[in-house]
Amino acid sequence: MQVKVAVVTGGADGFGATITDRFHQEGYQVIIIDINKEKGEQKASVGPNIHFLFGDVTQQDTWEQALALARDMFGRLDIVVNNAGITGAQSPVHTKDMAEYERTFNVNVRPIFCSARSIVPFMMEQGNGVFVNITSTGCTRPRPGFAFYNASKAAVATKTMALEYAPTVRFNCIAPAVGNTSMLQASIGSGADSQERLQKIEDLLPMKRVAQPMDIANAVWYLATDQSSFVTGTTLEVDGGRGI
């Protein structure tokens, strides 16, 4: 059986760590890219199929290194999961500054462009490949106070690339609702009212719970593998009914 290779950004923590686990358990070779060196090395120690690349996914050089690693070690690269992202404190637009605006778009949008520039030509030459980009239900059902985040996630140009590179490379999105990750903890804080804030978020979701990392990892597995071989240019909402 031919080895399959996946790159997962932000693979050391949150959704990315569980996505990495899902592929690892299925026997894939997984290259995780993360700026957290300590967590990245810890994740790579889980098993011999996980390989850590310390790098910044907003930089083209990092993607060239990821491609070189996959090509030199395994001779192929099958899947890219653009999972890394950031949010910010909940507050209206007029209270935010230009630095937060620029950082949010830089981290949430630029890696989509950089990854495609580096990886798509290789996949086209290879004859196949899949991108799964993590967006957000904030694009279509925004919560106030997260305008920059919502807008940056809406800028993930998956549908256009699905048209540009079909039939060789497939591009799909997953739109999670709020997930049980460190990003959520940063959003609700750790003060006495943090549980009340979490309850308010859960009350917005018809299923009355936030997304668990495995909910997202299972959806990524579906869109990244041959189970979805005729699916491209779509956004799969994994949101507990939030988008209805």
Q: Are 88 and 146 in contact (CB under 8 A)?
A: yes
Q: What are the φ/ψ torsions at residue 41 (nearest 5 degrees)?
A: -65, -35
Helix axes of 147-154 and 98-108: crossing angle, nearest 10 degrees: 30
- Residues marked active site are found at 149
Both tokens of residue 157? 């140009």
State the Cα–Cα distance between residues 241 and 209, nearest whole angstrom.
Answer: 10
Strand order in the sheet with 50-54: 50-54, 29-34, 5-9, 79-82, 129-134, 169-176, 235-238
Distance CA 81, CA 182 (A): 19
